[in-house]
Chain A
Amino acid sequence: MTDEEREGEGETRASIEPGSEDLPSSPSSSGYAAERGSTTATTDSQIEIHHDDDIEDDIAIEIDRISVSDSHSSWIPGKRHLDEDDASISWRKRKKHFFILSHSGKPIYSRYGDEHRLAGFSATLQAIISFVENGGDSVKLVRAGKHQVVFLVKGPIYLVCISSTDEPHESLREQLELIYGQMLVILTKSVNRCFEKNPKFDMTPLLGGTDIVFSSLIHSFSWNPAIFLHAYTCLPLAYATRQAAGAILQDIADSGVLFAILMCRHKIISLVGAQKASLHPDDMLLLANFVMSSESFRTSESFSPVCLPRYNPSAFVYAYIHYFDADTYLMLLTTSSDAFYHLKDCRIHIEMVLLKSSVLSDVQRSLLNGGMHVEDLPPIPCSGSSHLSQHMLPSDSPERFNEPNSSIGGPAGLWHFLYRSIFLDQYVSSEFSSSINTPQQQKRLYRAYQKLFASMHDRGIGPHKTQFRRDENYVLLCWVTQDFELYAAFDPLADKALAIETCNHICQWIKDVENEIFLLGASPFSW
């Protein structure tokens, strides 16, 4: 089936909602080939940036009222609108739905509404997938008006996103991949065996109590750049502080720990892996989401099986998890199911060292100060002498004295930037300037970056080296080299030449402070 046909078919099925519940669920889906390679190369890369101030959740309005710069910190976790189903007007109006269902059409997870009440709708999705599969093809994408329906088949598990958010379908597919990965973190791939034994297996009980893990992941699809950059981010810390944390983690990693990870919220303080073991940024993201979204880890030390899908999707490793304070937590991963007491001893040792070397208080200070502020971008590249901590101090240093600047952002109208080091698999995101201080504005910028990223990496027309675009919201500049990717947002009236020059300055600035914003050396990322 070509894309045109697929699009055409999309139109005829434009309204998946009305009447389609009557479609019989096809029971004949057992004979399909799993994980067939994608041959889709869609040629639609619309570059226009649309107004995207749509609000997916009513919650967003509340966030705005609280008006915080850190949109995710005030997000209220958990599943909402449980009373809805596919007959509800409100349910149909939701901008972005995610579904997990089994190959027999049984619902497993739905972002909105009660799964069991969506059985008919799930069966319909299953019918579409198996209809196309019976023709020896696989359905990837259906466009229906402003809706995109993206399908992902993972063995006996089907994942579907129905979205009118105007995100690139590549991004939506990646989000489905991450949702599948999150499911593996909880259950491993061995869940497939349940379907081999019983194709009509009901998987919902197996995921009991994990709604919050998925809803928190889905929420991060609109604020966490790690989702599309596939990279880590570090908490900014003095080089010596991070070294001290790394050294103590290294000590215990040598005693049979697979990975030792010290984190502050979703940012890495330090990470050490056993020899030859490497931790993929996506695994890191899913693991951190799993731990942070589950309140149970905060009450006490825990020992829980988790799966790292990129490391080994078929097996559990065991995670010892302990929070040092409300934000900072330690994860020690091991392959041995009876290592708890050893890991507990390791933690006590680590905690002692961290307290003695004041790492934990440095972490709290960094959290308060934030990372790179665009207002602090040095006006001229001044290599060698620059330190991040200087810029974080609210002193009357020369960089700071230009106060009016801070109300409109950094030099040349710079509002925000994202920098990803390709070699390190790490990225750094600046703090949001006051021009983008509402969650809606931040989400809109996030979506703009996401779209920019997709267009830069489009396999059909890309990859590109630079892109400059201007619309009524921003000037966006993207620059991709072998070593890094830089995404920067400016005032829509910013001068092009100045903006380009500013990007050079950003790169120089990052080089100057890379000791503090990245985890360098002995990194298990790039083996």
Chain B
Amino acid sequence: MATIGHNNLNAKLVLLGDMGAGKSSLVLRFVKGQFLEFQESTIGAAFFSQTLAVNDATVKFEIWDTAGQERYHSLAPMYYRGAAAAIIVYDITSSDSFTRAKKWVQELQKQGNPNMVMALAGNKADLEDKRKVTAEEARVYAEENGLFFMETSAKTAANVNDIFYEIAKRLPRAQPAQNPPGMVLVDRPAEGARAASCCS
């Protein structure tokens, strides 16, 4: 859950998507500026943090890079619970991964934080000749579902920082809606949600 300090915002961000879509590659590009041609499968979830300056505020992302394997699906709530933002990643060269991404969106709409900032990332945009999912199709889907959409390439770094910046920019705007009555209970919704469903 996003929490505001003075001009500092801590935001939990989760990456979801099919295995091999490039979640870890996006994070490693964003956090470490690295890219590995053969990124090994993530086990469970890896945790990263990265701070961004947006306008006159700083946003500290606490990033959960989850494993895409089927066996971890039932454990995903453990990682997205209380998240302020999510990037749902698919591989533009795989229709299956796009289908899987839509399922993640559905699940987050049902189970996740209702004020979550959701981004849809069509990764591997450098592989234009192997494309199976058109940008138009993804854009329409994203608009219908209130996500913002970008095609990214962890390999060439195209749009990678941009998508995180865009999330960071949208976060403060999402904040007032989160606590309509006032500023007193900033942390409460997160704590409540966590306590209520810790045994999922």
In the complex, are the beta carbons of B198 and A301 less than 8 A apart? no
Report whether A301 and B47 are in contact in the complex, using a CB–CB cutoff of 8 Å: yes
- Chain A residues whose C-beta falls within 8 Å of the C-beta of B198 in the assembled complex: 336-338
Task: Tally the A-B contacts, defined by beta carbons under 8 Å.
Answer: 75
Q: Closest Cβ of chain B: how far from A318's Cβ, in Å?
A: 8
A297 within 8 A of B: yes
With the chains together, A299 CA to B46 CA distance in Å? 8
From B40, B70, B81, B200, contact of A205 by CB (8 A): B70
Segment from A302-310, A326-334, A482-490 that makes contact with B? A302-310
Which residues of A, 328-379, contact B by the 8 Å Cβ criterion? Answer: 336-338, 340, 344
Closest chain-A Cβ to B119's Cβ sits at a distance in Å of 21
Contact B47 A186 (CB under 8 A): no
A367 → B minimal CB distance (Å): 24
Rounded to whole Å, the gap between the CB of A452 and the closest CB of chain B is 36
Asked if A208 CB lies within 8 Å of chain B CBs, one says yes
CA of A299 to CA of B36, assembled, Å = 12
In the complex, whether A294 has a CB less than 8 A from a CB of chain B is yes
**Chain B nearest CB: distance from A303 CB in Å?**
6
Q: Are B40 and A208 in contact (CB under 8 A)?
A: no
B54 within 8 A of A: no
Q: How far is A338 from B192 in the complex, measured between Cα atoms in Å?
A: 13
Contacts of A295 in B (CB 8 A): 40
B158 to chain A, nearest CB (A): 22
- Find residues 16-61 in chain A having any chain B CB closer than 8 Å to their own CB: none
- Contact between B70 and A302, CB atoms less than 8 A apart: no
Q: Are A302 and B43 in contact (CB under 8 A)?
A: yes
Chain B nearest Cβ from A441, distance in angstroms: 32
A473→B24 CA distance, assembly (Å) = 50
Known pairs A208-B19, A208-B71, A337-B198; A299 contacts B43 (CB<8 A): no
Complex Cα distance, B85 from A496, in Å, reads 72
Chain A contacts for B78, CB-based, 8 A: 337-338
Chain B positions within 8 Å of A297 at CB level: 43, 46
Q: Give the CA-CA distance A206 to B68 in the complex, in Å.
A: 11
CB distance from B48 to the nearest CB of A (A): 5
* CB <8 Å contact, B46 and A296: yes
Are A209's CB and B44's CB within 8 A?
A: no
Contact B47 A338 (CB under 8 A): no
Taking CB atoms, residues of chain A closer than 8 Å to B156 are: none
Q: How far is the CB of A296 from chain B (nearest CB, A)?
A: 5
Decide yes or no whether A395 CB sits under 8 A from chain B.
no
Residues of B within 8 A of A300 (CB): 46-48, 65
Chain A interface extent, by class? 20 to 34
Tell me the bound Cα distance from A337 to B45 in angstroms.
Answer: 12
Q: State whether the Cβ of B42 lies closer than 8 Å to any Cβ in chain A.
A: yes
**What is the CA–CA distance of A208 and B70 in the complex, to the nearest angstrom?**
8
Is B41 among interface residues, defined by CB-CB distance under 8 A? yes
Chain B residue total in the interface (Cβ 8 A) = 25
Per the 8 Å Cβ criterion, residues 197-237 of A in contact with B are 205-210, 212
Q: B194–A209 contact, CB under 8 A?
A: no
- Residues in A with CB closer than 8 Å to B48 are 300
* Interface membership of chain A positions 278-291, coded 1 if the CB is closer than 8 angstroms to chain B and 0 otherwise: 00000000000010
Q: How far is the CB of A158 from chain B (nearest CB, A)?
A: 20
| B134 interface hit (Cβ, 8 Å) | no
B198 to chain A, nearest CB (A): 5
Knowing A296-B46, A300-B48, A303-B44, the reply to whether A187 touches B71 (Cβ < 8 A) is yes
Q: For chain B, residues 150 to 200, give those with C-beta under 8 angstroms from any C-beta of chain A.
A: 194, 198-200
Q: Are A344 and B43 in touch, CB under 8 angstroms?
A: no
A296 and B24 within 8 A (CB): yes
Most chain B beta-carbon contacts within 10 A, residue among A187, A208, A300, A305? A300
**Neighbouring A residues of B43 by C-beta, 8 Å:** 209, 290, 294, 296-297, 302, 304
Q: Does B69 contact A (CB under 8 A)?
A: yes
In the bound complex, how far is the Cα of B70 from the Cα of A448, in angstroms?
41
The complex places the Cα of A510 from the Cα of B42 at a distance, in Å, of 41
Q: Is the CB of A299 within 8 A of B47?
A: no
A123-177 residues with Cβ-Cβ distance < 8 A to B are: none
The answer to whether A302 and B44 touch across the interface, beta carbons within 8 angstroms, is: yes
- A299 B28 Cβ-Cβ under 8 A: yes
Q: How far is the CB of A211 from chain B (nearest CB, A)?
A: 10
Interface string of B44-64 (1 = CB under 8 A from A): 111110000000000000000
Q: In the A-B complex, list the 4 residue pairs whose CB atoms are closest, starting with the nearest.
A: A304-B44, A209-B41, A295-B40, A300-B46
Between A and B, 30 residue pairs with Cβ closer than 8 Å are A186-B71, A187-B71, A205-B70, A206-B70, A207-B71, A208-B41, A208-B69, A209-B41, A209-B67, A212-B40, A290-B43, A294-B41, A294-B43, A295-B40, A296-B41, A296-B46, A297-B43, A297-B46, A301-B46, A302-B42, A302-B43, A303-B44, A303-B45, A305-B44, A305-B75, A337-B78, A337-B200, A338-B81, A338-B198, A344-B47
With A209-B19, A305-B44 already in contact, 6 other A-B pairs whose C-beta atoms are closer than 8 Å: A209-B41, A299-B28, A301-B46, A302-B46, A304-B67, A305-B75
Chain A interface (Cβ within 8 Å of chain B)? 186-187, 205-210, 212, 290, 294-297, 299-306, 316, 319, 336-338, 340, 344
